[in-house]
Amino acid sequence: MSSIWKQLVDPDESLFYSRGEKGDIRLGDLVKRGEKNFSLDVQVGILGVPQDEGVKRNKGRVGAAEGPDAVRQALYRLTPFEIGSEDNITILSLFDFGNLVVRGSLEDIHGRLQDVVETILNLGITPIVLGGGHDITFPDFVAFAKEKKSVGLINIDSHFDVREPSPQRTSGTSFRQVLDNSTTLILPQNFVEVGIQPYANARTHYEYLLDRGSTVFTLREIQERGVDKIVSVSYEIAGKLTEAVFVSFDLDVVRGSDAPGVSASSPSGLAAEDLLKIARYVGLQRKTQMIDIVELNPKYDVDSRTAKLAALTILNFLTGVANRV
């Protein structure tokens, strides 16, 4: 455990908002940070990866490197209280590991990320990893799948992200790398894409997924059948005969009016409330042992709208975790 602190930078203390009132607790009051404050009773850990080299390689608009701290700034101002929840997140022990050191090449960063996530998971902690670009999901998932017999994966996204590395990995190659990598131990039948938009993906990528036996739920199917039904079926597929499930949230799955600050914005997409429903649902499921939230680009955000949505996604996930039965 001691070795990972050299690969991390402590989160900026100014991000941890506090009213200084006993009757008005904020997340900034609850979340522990700093090596000296770490203890083995931590249940959920937040980790930032402030880089967007994969987005740049994928010919996207850069700026996601600023994402992790923008999420923290929004998250730590919020309260843990929600009317109607049986248990709120104050029952959870939360820790912010800070940001990964991002020097070197993208491949160097990914290797470092894999090591840190693996260490966190081995301590029995559920990681919430903040991007950064969607390229981080590949090393995240390799670490997640290690030491497990079988795993499932759900990608909440407008895009398939199954491009072939040619030759380098990018923010658009993560799920091709996952499916084609023999060390990840995932059956393609346990991989589900949710929220895929029309006119945003190549036919060849769709055919690749169908040929592998994976499942795709489009934006249209969600609109016609309802997000509750789709997420339930998706989880059933990802969780079938698997030990654990990883869920990746790409914020560009949400329509631009609700989430303008992403690497690839679109006027259509899920509503913000849809994303929060999904986060709550997967948080409630005991098999969910890790999530990541990617592609927040504060350079294009409006009134921190997208950062606030990412923060609410985390809170809805945590509330689900707190209410597991």
Q: Can you give the residue ranges of every domain in the chain? A: 2-322
pLDDT-derived band at 173 (thresholds 50, 70, 90) equals very high
Per-residue pLDDT for 1 more than 70? Answer: no
Per-residue pLDDT for 288 more than 70? Answer: yes
Give the pLDDT of residue 88: 85
Q: Between 10 and 87, name the one with better pLDDT.
A: 10
Give the pLDDT of residue 181: 87
Nearest one of 322, 294, 321, 292 to 116, comparing CA atoms: 292
Per-residue pLDDT for 301 more than 90? Answer: yes
Please state the pTM of the whole predicted model: 0.97
Instruction: Concatenate the DSSP letters of all residues of 218-274 into one string.
Output: EHHHHHHH-HHHHHHHHHHHHHTT-SEEEEEEEGGGB-TTT---BSS--SSSB-HHH
pLDDT-derived band at 58 (thresholds 50, 70, 90) equals very high
305-311 average pLDDT score: 98
pLDDT digits (tens, 9 = 90+) for 118-144: 999 999 999 999 999 999 999 999 999
Per-residue pLDDT for 172 more than 90? Answer: yes
Q: Does domain 2-322 have CATH number 3.40.800.10?
A: yes
pLDDT-derived band at 319 (thresholds 50, 70, 90) equals very high
Q: Average pLDDT over the chain, rounded to whole?
A: 96
281-304 average pLDDT score: 98
pLDDT digits (tens, 9 = 90+) for 184-217: 779 999 999 999 999 999 999 999 999 999 999 9
Give the span between the Cα atoms of 273 and 297, in whole angstroms.
20
Per-residue pLDDT for 269 more than 80? Answer: yes
Give the span between the Cα atoms of 210 and 195, in whole angstroms.
16
196 strand-pairing partners: 218
6-30 average pLDDT score: 97
Nearest one of 144, 166, 36, 141 to 95, comparing CA atoms: 36
Give the pLDDT of residue 115: 97
Per-residue pLDDT for 305 more than 90? Answer: yes
50-68 average pLDDT score: 97
Give the span between the Cα atoms of 294 and 178, in whole angstroms.
17
Nearest one of 200, 36, 7 to 111, comparing CA atoms: 7
Positive/negative CA dihedral, 306, 7, 173, 238: negative
Per-residue pLDDT for 87 more than 90? Answer: no
Q: Which helix (H) or strand (E) holds 89?
A: none
Residue 325: what residue type?
A: V
